[in-house]
Amino acid sequence: MTDLPNTPRLTPTRYRELASHDREKFQRTLASHVVAHVGFVRDGEPMVLPTGYGFDDDYLYIHGSTGSAFYRDMGDGRPLCISITSLDGFVYARSTYDSAVQYRSIVIFGAAEKLEGDDKVRAFDIMAEHLMPGRVAEVRPSTPKELAATMALRVSLAEASLKILDGGVEETPDDGEDHSVWAGTLPLRLIAGNPDTALLTPPWTLLPDSVRLQQQRFSNR
Protein backbone atom coordinates (compact mmCIF):
# COMPACT_ATOMS: atom_id res chain seq x y z
CA MET A 1 0.00 0.00 0.00
CA THR A 2 1.37 3.43 -0.93
CA ASP A 3 1.66 6.15 1.71
CA LEU A 4 -0.73 9.09 1.65
CA PRO A 5 0.73 11.95 -0.42
CA ASN A 6 2.71 14.69 1.25
CA THR A 7 1.91 17.92 -0.61
CA PRO A 8 1.66 21.48 0.80
CA ARG A 9 -2.13 21.48 0.41
CA LEU A 10 -2.33 18.30 2.52
CA THR A 11 0.04 19.39 5.27
CA PRO A 12 -1.39 21.00 8.41
CA THR A 13 0.25 24.32 9.27
CA ARG A 14 0.01 23.56 13.01
CA TYR A 15 0.84 20.34 14.89
CA ARG A 16 2.34 18.74 11.78
CA GLU A 17 3.49 15.82 13.92
CA LEU A 18 -0.18 14.76 14.15
CA ALA A 19 -0.37 14.23 10.38
CA SER A 20 -0.13 10.57 9.40
CA HIS A 21 0.73 9.24 5.96
CA ASP A 22 -0.01 5.65 6.87
CA ARG A 23 -2.46 4.33 4.27
CA GLU A 24 -3.44 1.40 6.49
CA LYS A 25 -4.47 3.72 9.33
CA PHE A 26 -6.30 5.81 6.75
CA GLN A 27 -8.26 2.76 5.53
CA ARG A 28 -8.97 1.69 9.14
CA THR A 29 -10.36 5.16 9.90
CA LEU A 30 -12.59 4.96 6.82
CA ALA A 31 -13.70 1.48 7.92
CA SER A 32 -14.63 2.55 11.44
CA HIS A 33 -17.00 5.32 10.35
CA VAL A 34 -19.96 5.73 8.07
CA VAL A 35 -20.60 9.47 7.75
CA ALA A 36 -18.72 11.93 5.54
CA HIS A 37 -19.26 15.67 5.24
CA VAL A 38 -19.03 16.83 1.64
CA GLY A 39 -18.23 20.51 1.08
CA PHE A 40 -18.53 22.39 -2.19
CA VAL A 41 -19.50 25.78 -3.58
CA ARG A 42 -23.07 26.04 -4.88
CA ASP A 43 -24.32 29.25 -6.52
CA GLY A 44 -21.33 31.05 -4.99
CA GLU A 45 -22.15 29.92 -1.47
CA PRO A 46 -20.30 27.29 0.61
CA MET A 47 -22.33 24.16 1.26
CA VAL A 48 -21.59 21.11 3.43
CA LEU A 49 -23.75 18.00 3.36
CA PRO A 50 -23.44 14.97 5.65
CA THR A 51 -23.85 11.65 3.87
CA GLY A 52 -23.14 7.94 4.29
CA TYR A 53 -20.29 6.45 2.28
CA GLY A 54 -18.55 3.29 1.18
CA PHE A 55 -14.98 2.90 -0.01
CA ASP A 56 -12.41 0.65 -1.63
CA ASP A 57 -8.65 1.07 -2.03
CA ASP A 58 -8.97 3.90 -4.55
CA TYR A 59 -12.33 5.62 -4.16
CA LEU A 60 -14.92 6.94 -1.73
CA TYR A 61 -18.48 6.21 -2.89
CA ILE A 62 -21.53 8.31 -2.06
CA HIS A 63 -25.10 8.21 -3.29
CA GLY A 64 -28.18 10.38 -3.36
CA SER A 65 -31.50 10.89 -5.09
CA THR A 66 -31.41 11.90 -8.75
CA GLY A 67 -34.16 14.33 -7.67
CA SER A 68 -31.77 16.16 -5.34
CA ALA A 69 -30.34 19.32 -6.86
CA PHE A 70 -27.60 19.24 -4.22
CA TYR A 71 -26.41 15.78 -5.28
CA ARG A 72 -26.67 16.72 -8.94
CA ASP A 73 -24.43 19.74 -8.31
CA MET A 74 -22.08 17.70 -6.15
CA GLY A 75 -21.75 15.19 -8.98
CA ASP A 76 -21.11 17.59 -11.85
CA GLY A 77 -17.32 17.50 -11.52
CA ARG A 78 -16.86 20.65 -9.43
CA PRO A 79 -14.15 20.63 -6.70
CA LEU A 80 -15.18 18.90 -3.50
CA CYS A 81 -13.60 18.76 -0.08
CA ILE A 82 -14.73 15.83 2.04
CA SER A 83 -14.15 15.38 5.74
CA ILE A 84 -14.59 12.30 7.93
CA THR A 85 -14.18 12.57 11.68
CA SER A 86 -13.89 10.04 14.44
CA LEU A 87 -14.31 11.59 17.88
CA ASP A 88 -12.37 9.17 20.10
CA GLY A 89 -12.21 10.84 23.50
CA PHE A 90 -11.82 13.90 25.68
CA VAL A 91 -8.51 14.94 27.21
CA TYR A 92 -9.10 16.67 30.55
CA ALA A 93 -5.99 18.69 31.34
CA ARG A 94 -5.65 20.87 34.43
CA SER A 95 -6.50 23.93 32.35
CA THR A 96 -9.08 24.31 29.59
CA TYR A 97 -6.31 25.72 27.36
CA ASP A 98 -4.39 22.43 27.51
CA SER A 99 -7.52 20.27 27.23
CA ALA A 100 -8.29 18.64 23.90
CA VAL A 101 -10.31 16.03 22.06
CA GLN A 102 -8.82 12.80 20.75
CA TYR A 103 -9.66 12.22 17.12
CA ARG A 104 -8.82 10.69 13.79
CA SER A 105 -9.85 12.90 10.90
CA ILE A 106 -9.59 12.74 7.16
CA VAL A 107 -9.69 15.47 4.53
CA ILE A 108 -10.09 14.47 0.86
CA PHE A 109 -9.79 16.83 -2.10
CA GLY A 110 -11.26 15.76 -5.43
CA ALA A 111 -14.23 15.80 -7.76
CA ALA A 112 -17.04 13.31 -8.13
CA GLU A 113 -17.54 11.04 -11.12
CA LYS A 114 -21.08 9.88 -11.80
CA LEU A 115 -21.26 6.09 -12.21
CA GLU A 116 -23.50 4.13 -14.57
CA GLY A 117 -24.21 0.51 -15.45
CA ASP A 118 -22.18 -2.20 -13.69
CA ASP A 119 -19.98 0.43 -11.98
CA LYS A 120 -23.10 1.94 -10.42
CA VAL A 121 -24.39 -1.41 -9.16
CA ARG A 122 -20.94 -2.25 -7.75
CA ALA A 123 -20.84 1.14 -6.01
CA PHE A 124 -24.21 0.49 -4.36
CA ASP A 125 -22.98 -2.91 -3.17
CA ILE A 126 -19.81 -1.35 -1.74
CA MET A 127 -21.83 1.32 0.07
CA ALA A 128 -24.40 -1.16 1.40
CA GLU A 129 -21.65 -3.53 2.53
CA HIS A 130 -19.91 -0.73 4.41
CA LEU A 131 -23.06 0.78 5.96
CA MET A 132 -24.83 -2.51 6.80
CA PRO A 133 -22.41 -5.43 6.25
CA GLY A 134 -24.13 -8.63 5.08
CA ARG A 135 -27.52 -7.01 4.45
CA VAL A 136 -27.42 -7.17 0.63
CA ALA A 137 -27.62 -10.98 0.76
CA GLU A 138 -30.65 -10.92 3.09
CA VAL A 139 -33.00 -8.58 1.19
CA ARG A 140 -34.45 -8.36 -2.31
CA PRO A 141 -32.30 -6.75 -5.03
CA SER A 142 -32.96 -3.12 -5.90
CA THR A 143 -35.49 -2.68 -8.71
CA PRO A 144 -34.54 -0.90 -11.97
CA LYS A 145 -36.82 1.97 -10.86
CA GLU A 146 -34.98 2.29 -7.54
CA LEU A 147 -31.60 2.17 -9.30
CA ALA A 148 -32.74 4.85 -11.75
CA ALA A 149 -33.88 7.09 -8.89
CA THR A 150 -30.49 6.96 -7.20
CA MET A 151 -27.22 8.49 -8.27
CA ALA A 152 -23.89 6.86 -7.42
CA LEU A 153 -20.79 9.02 -7.27
CA ARG A 154 -17.15 8.22 -6.60
CA VAL A 155 -14.30 10.47 -5.53
CA SER A 156 -10.66 9.43 -5.82
CA LEU A 157 -8.76 8.90 -2.56
CA ALA A 158 -5.52 10.02 -4.24
CA GLU A 159 -5.40 13.45 -2.58
CA ALA A 160 -6.18 12.87 1.07
CA SER A 161 -4.76 13.64 4.50
CA LEU A 162 -5.13 11.98 7.89
CA LYS A 163 -4.58 13.65 11.23
CA ILE A 164 -4.56 11.74 14.50
CA LEU A 165 -4.64 13.10 18.03
CA ASP A 166 -4.50 10.10 20.36
CA GLY A 167 -2.28 11.28 23.19
CA GLY A 168 -3.28 11.93 26.80
CA VAL A 169 -2.68 14.86 29.12
CA GLU A 170 0.69 16.49 28.55
CA GLU A 171 2.14 17.91 31.77
CA THR A 172 5.29 18.14 33.82
CA PRO A 173 5.43 17.41 37.58
CA ASP A 174 6.64 20.88 38.59
CA ASP A 175 4.68 23.31 36.41
CA GLY A 176 2.75 24.78 39.33
CA GLU A 177 -0.64 23.22 38.52
CA ASP A 178 -2.87 21.88 41.27
CA HIS A 179 -2.52 18.10 40.78
CA SER A 180 -5.45 17.39 43.10
CA VAL A 181 -7.72 18.59 40.28
CA TRP A 182 -8.48 15.40 38.34
CA ALA A 183 -6.91 15.13 34.91
CA GLY A 184 -7.03 12.29 32.42
CA THR A 185 -8.87 11.02 29.39
CA LEU A 186 -12.43 9.91 28.79
CA PRO A 187 -12.64 7.54 25.79
CA LEU A 188 -15.74 7.65 23.59
CA ARG A 189 -17.28 4.83 21.54
CA LEU A 190 -20.20 4.72 19.12
CA ILE A 191 -22.24 1.80 20.51
CA ALA A 192 -25.29 0.04 19.02
CA GLY A 193 -28.46 0.00 21.11
CA ASN A 194 -31.03 -2.83 21.25
CA PRO A 195 -32.68 -3.71 17.91
CA ASP A 196 -36.24 -2.40 17.61
CA THR A 197 -38.30 -4.78 15.43
CA ALA A 198 -40.53 -3.29 12.70
CA LEU A 199 -44.30 -3.69 13.14
CA LEU A 200 -45.09 -6.08 10.26
CA THR A 201 -42.36 -8.58 11.25
CA PRO A 202 -43.86 -11.98 12.24
CA PRO A 203 -43.08 -12.71 15.91
CA TRP A 204 -41.06 -15.88 15.13
CA THR A 205 -38.60 -13.97 12.90
CA LEU A 206 -34.98 -14.35 14.02
CA LEU A 207 -32.60 -11.42 14.21
CA PRO A 208 -30.53 -11.66 11.00
CA ASP A 209 -26.76 -12.09 10.90
CA SER A 210 -26.29 -8.61 9.45
CA VAL A 211 -27.81 -6.99 12.55
CA ARG A 212 -25.75 -9.19 14.88
CA LEU A 213 -22.65 -8.25 12.87
CA GLN A 214 -23.50 -4.56 13.18
CA GLN A 215 -23.99 -4.94 16.94
CA GLN A 216 -20.52 -6.49 17.19
CA ARG A 217 -19.05 -3.77 15.01
CA PHE A 218 -20.53 -1.07 17.25
CA SER A 219 -19.99 -2.75 20.57
CA ASN A 220 -17.94 -1.77 23.58
CA ARG A 221 -15.35 -4.50 23.01
Ligand X SMILES: Cc1cc2nc3c(=O)[nH]c(=O)nc-3n(C[C@H](O)[C@H](O)[C@H](O)COP(=O)(O)OP(=O)(O)OC[C@H]3O[C@@H](n4cnc5c(N)ncnc54)[C@H](O)[C@@H]3O)c2cc1C
Identify each DSSP E strand in the chain by its residue range.
19-20, 35-42, 45-52, 54-55, 59-65, 79-92, 100-115, 150-156, 160-165, 184-187
- Whole-number CA gyration radius for the chain: 21
Nearer to ligand X, 40 or 71 (CB): 40
Task: Write down the least CB distance from residue 131 to ligand X, Å.
Answer: 22
Nearer to ligand X, 7 or 65 (CB): 7
* Residue 73 DSSP one-character state: H
Nearer to ligand X, 81 or 121 (CB): 81
**Is residue 90 close enough to count as binding ligand X by CB under 6 A?**
no
Q: Is 171 exposed, middle or buried (0-12, 13-18, 19+ CB in 10 A)?
A: middle
**Is residue 32 close enough to count as binding ligand X by CB under 6 A?**
no
**Is residue 102 close enough to count as binding ligand X by CB under 6 A?**
no
Beta strand 59-65 pairing with 54-55: antiparallel
**Is residue 9 close enough to count as binding ligand X by CB under 6 A?**
yes
Span from 68-76, 101-109, 179-187, 195-203 in contact with ligand X (CB under 6 A): 101-109
Span from 10-18, 43-51, 118-126, 141-149 in contact with ligand X (CB under 6 A): 10-18
Helix (H, G, I), strand (E, B) or coil at 15: coil
Nearer to ligand X, 102 or 210 (CB): 102
**Is residue 95 close enough to count as binding ligand X by CB under 6 A?**
no
Span from 7-15, 51-59, 61-69, 166-174 in contact with ligand X (CB under 6 A): 7-15
Phi, psi angle pair for 150, to nearest 5°: -125, 135
Task: Write down the least CB distance from residue 45 to ligand X, Å.
Answer: 20
Task: Write down the least CB distance from residue 85 to ligand X, Å.
Answer: 5
Dihedral of alpha carbons 15, 18, 23, 29, sign: negative
Residues within window 122-161 making contact with ligand X, judged by CB under 6 A: 161
H or E element at residue 146: helix 144-148
Q: Which residues bind ligand X (CB under 6 A)?
A: 9-14, 85, 87, 101, 103, 105-107, 161-163
